[in-house]
Amino acid sequence: MTVWKEITINPETSIRETLRVIDAGSLQIALVTDDGGRLVGTVTDGDVRRGILRNVAVDSAVREIMNSSPTAAAAQDSADEILATMKLKQLRQIPVVDTDGKLVGLEVLEDLIQSKDRPNWVVLMAGGFGTRLRPLTDDCPKPLLKIGNKPLLQTILENFIQYGFRRFFISVNYKADMVRAHFADGSNWGVQIEYLHESERLGTAGALSLLGENPQHPMFVMNGDVLTKVNFQHLLDFHNEHGSEATMCVREYEFQVPYGVVTVGRHDILRIEEKPVQRFFVNAGIYVLNPSALQLIARNQLLDMTTLLQRVVDAGMPTAVFPIREYWLDIGQPDDFRRANGDFPEEFQQ
């Protein structure tokens, strides 16, 4: 196959165009070659997101963010040898080069192992009261409110299923019977669904103490009121690549101060900045946790995910932030609900 030729770029290609190449293809990578066709670098979704965190402009040349020392396989390497290298270095793709270093192919993990079902658990938080969305939530829990033609939580579930995740836990409290009646055991979607019932409010992290067994792989935790097109495989890869104990998805948020901001010395003016724009990364309500992070959660005690993440930091465990560049909307207010319904046909029914 020559599909890899469609994801080949040169070092001067812009990051913006590289993103288009990565998103248009199905291989989650772009291959960078020189004028002679020799492999000089690779660019993954994770490389792009790390560039975002370093404030590299998307119109910059991709050489600013590419991996200039990529792992490559020789054309004569066997599939077993390539698969062993992938497992050793936790790679999902390996470019193949000839004896002159020229790019001649690309091997992809899924093609070698012939399996797309993933063992990672997914916990969806659906127990909130949705107070800010009343009266919409007087008779219906927020996760079951219809966005487009289906309940919000169903869209979230189906997005995870698309990436091969098959075991789900749904944390329920407010109108729990309605959530259970809609999703049942998950058989209608070909997956396994179990429920974590909060008899009292435990918070986004405290509900994890209700898991009956310990996961063996990193697990996802996601708020049930977030509409997004995040690539969950990219998120999991990013978490693993960084050796993170806990990874938090973040969204860039801009706020323009409506006044001139004055920087003051002891009594004099140092600088005046007219209506500056402040940029922050804010919590996006999606996380990946290693099993060992769950040891920091006490059973049946109120604990929010932000507090758990701080405990991970305080314990000296490695963490990571994953900047979301895809569509994302937290449905907390009536205006958000209306916007989500307006966005849904274009974003989720293409």
Per-residue 3-state assignment (H helix, E strand, C coil) for 213-244:
CCCCCCEEEEECCEEECCCHHHHHHHHHHCCC
Each domain of the chain, given as residue ranges in start order, spans 3-113, 118-348
Q: Supply the CATH classification number for the domain 118-348.
A: 3.90.550.10
pLDDT digits (tens, 9 = 90+) for 94-125: 888 888 888 988 888 777 765 567 899 999 99
Of the options 3.40.50.300, 3.40.50.2300, 3.10.580.10, 3.20.20.70, the CATH number for the domain spanning 3-113: 3.10.580.10
pLDDT at residue 300 in the model: 80
Q: What global pTM score does this model have?
A: 0.73
Residue 1 banded pLDDT, cuts 50, 70, 90: very low
Residue 156 banded pLDDT, cuts 50, 70, 90: very high
Catalytic pick from 87, 89, 116, 275? 275
- Tell me whether residue 64 is exposed, middle or buried, using C-beta atoms within 10 angstroms of its C-beta: 0 to 12, 13 to 18, 19 or more: middle
pLDDT at residue 113 in the model: 64
Instruction: Tell me, yes or no, if the two domains 3-113 and 118-348 fold the same way.
Output: no
Residues 321, 272 contacting (CB under 8 angstroms): no
Q: Is the pLDDT of residue 319 over 70?
A: yes
Catalytic residue list contains 275 = yes
